[in-house]
Amino acid sequence: MSLKAINPANGTLIETYPSLNAEEMDHRIRQANAAQASWQKMSFAERADVLRRVAAQLREEKDTLGKLMTAEMGKPVKEAGPEVEKAAWCAEHYAEHAAGYLADQHLASDASQSYVTYQPLGTVLGILPWNAPLWLAFRFLAPALMAGNTCVMKHDPHVPGCAKAIAEAFGKAGAPEHIMVNLPLENDLAEQAIRHSGIAAVSFTGSDRAGAAVASVAASEIKPAVLELGGSDPLIVLADADLETAADVATLSRIINAGQSCIAAKRIIVEAPVYEIFTQLVERRLTLLKVGDPTAPETDVGPLAREDLRQNLHRQVSATLDAGARCLMGGQPDAGLGYFYPVTLLADVTPEMCAFREETFGPVMVLIKASDADQALALANDTAYGLGAGVWTTNLAQAQRFIRELQAGQVAVNGIVKTDPRLPSGGIKRSGFGRELGPHGIHEFVNAKQVWVK
C-alpha cells in the first residue's frame, strides 16, 4: 500500500510514500504508549524546552517546509512561509503558558485542602486535513504534548511529505523518541486507529460528514473527541460600516488558501442601502487577484487541492446560477493543466440556493442582500453550521447585539475571523464541539482530577 502526493498545479505525481498496514500501525501506537509515562514525568519546563527546540527546527526549515506544502496541496508560496511561522509560534506559546493553563485549581470545601489537578490522558490520535498541513498539525500537537500526552498523527493521505517532515522535525530537534509518531495511513484504517486500545482520545479536523463518523466511533469506545468541522461563515456588512476596509477583509478572508479554509467568510450578507456599492468594491478587489503557479511569489490564488474538490465546487456554482443568482465574474473552471478554479463572484444569492446552504471550499464569494440588520442576523443564523462569524458596524450597541445573538463559536467585529494560539477556537451545530487553542484547548485532553485532603 502507498500514499501518492500529486501536484495540484499540474496533476503530476510528486512522490509515492509507503503506508502502514494494521500490524505496523499497532506497533507505532504502542511506541507512543510506551513513551508516554516518562514524558508525563518530565516537568513543564523540560517539556517546554523540547517544544521550543521543535519550533526552532521549523523555522530553520521554513523554506523547505513551505515548498512541500506548495507542491502537495497548492498553497501559494507567499502563504506557505507564514504558515510555518504560525506553527512554530503555536509550539512556543504552549511552551510558555502550559504550566499556567494547567496550574492546580484550589476550591473551598469541607476538606483541609481541596483542589483540581490536571493530568494527561495518555496517547491522543490526531486526524488532520490537507488544507493547512503545518498549522493544523501543531494546533493539535502543541497543547496535547505540553499537557503530558504523547501524540500519534494520522495526516491526510494527500500530504504525506508534509507529515513525514513534521515527524522528522521532532527527531532533528532531539525530542524524546516516540512522543510524536507519524501514522501514514489510508483512510480506511482510521476507524481501527480510533478503536485501538492505546488511543485515549481523538482530535479531528475535517468535514462535518467525516466528523460525524469519527464522533460515532469514538463515542462507541467511550473516548473523548474534539471536532473542528466545516463552516459556512457569515460576514455581515451593515449600512454604517467602513465599507472600504470591510471589502478588503472580505476579499482576503474569502480567497486565502484559494478559499479552502473552514473559517473563511463564505456568505457575505450586506444591508440593502450599501449592497450595490459594496458589490462594486469587492468586484474591483477580486479582479486584481492573480490566479496561477503557486510557486510564483506574485500569485494570490493557487489551485484547489484535488480534482474532485474542483468538480464539487463547480457543481455548487452551477446549481446556484441555475437557481437565479448572478455571476459577476468567474464561474467556469479553467481548461488547462492543474486543478485551478477562477475567482468567482455570485450576487443576489438567496437562502434556497446551493451556495447559501452548502459550504463552498474554493475562491467563490457569495453576496446576499438583507433588507435590514434584523434580516441580516436571521440570514447569518440560517445555517446548519456555526464555526465563525464576522460583523462590520460602527454602532457599538448593534455590535454587542450581534455578539450575543450570532450562533457561532467565535465572532469578529470589524476584523477577520482567524485562529490564534492565545484564543480558543471551535464551533457549534454541525461545525463540531470542543475547543482548540488558548487555555481551553489544552484542557480538552486532560483528566481534571478532584483531590480532597483532610
Q: For residues 14 and 6, give the distance between their C-alpha atoms in angstroms, rounded to a whole number.
A: 5
Do strands 113-120 and 105-106 pair parallel, antiparallel, or not at all (unpaired)? antiparallel
Under 8 Å between Cβ of 64 and 393? no
DSSP code of residue 420: B
Answer yes or no: 228 catalytic.
Answer: yes
Q: Classify residue 37 as exposed, middle or buried by CB count within 10 Å of its CB (0-12, 13-18, 19+).
A: exposed
Q: How would you write 270-296 as a 3-class SS string?
A: EEHHHHHHHHHHHHHHHHCCCECCCCC
Query: Could you say which of 72, 79, 83, 228 is catalytic?
Result: 228
Cα–Cα distance measured from residue 135 to residue 82, given in angstroms and rounded to the nearest whole number: 10
Query: How many helices (DSSP H) and strands (DSSP E) are in the chain?
Result: 15, 18
**Cα–Cα dist 294/14, whole Å:** 15
Q: Which DSSP category does 348 fall into?
A: S
Do residues 270 and 367 lie in contact, with contact meaning Cβ atoms separated by under 8 Å?
Answer: yes
> Residue 444, Cα to own-chain centre: how many angstroms?
17
Q: Which one of 72, 262, 271, 444 is the catalytic residue?
A: 262
CA dist 362 and 442 (Å) reads 31
List, in sequence order, every beta strand (DSSP E) within 94-219: 105-106, 113-120, 123-127, 150-154, 180-182, 201-205
Looking at residue 271, its amino acid is E
What whole-number distance in Å separates Cα of residue 414 and Cα of residue 396?
A: 11
283 included as an active-site residue: no
**CA geometry: angle 308, 310, 312, nearest 5 deg:** 70
Residue partners of 265: CB distance under 8 A and separation at least 6 = 233, 234, 235, 249, 250, 253, 254, 390, 416, 417
What grid cell was written down for 356? Answer: 447559501
**Element (DSSP H or E) covering residue 369:** strand 364-370
Residues taking part in catalysis: 228, 262
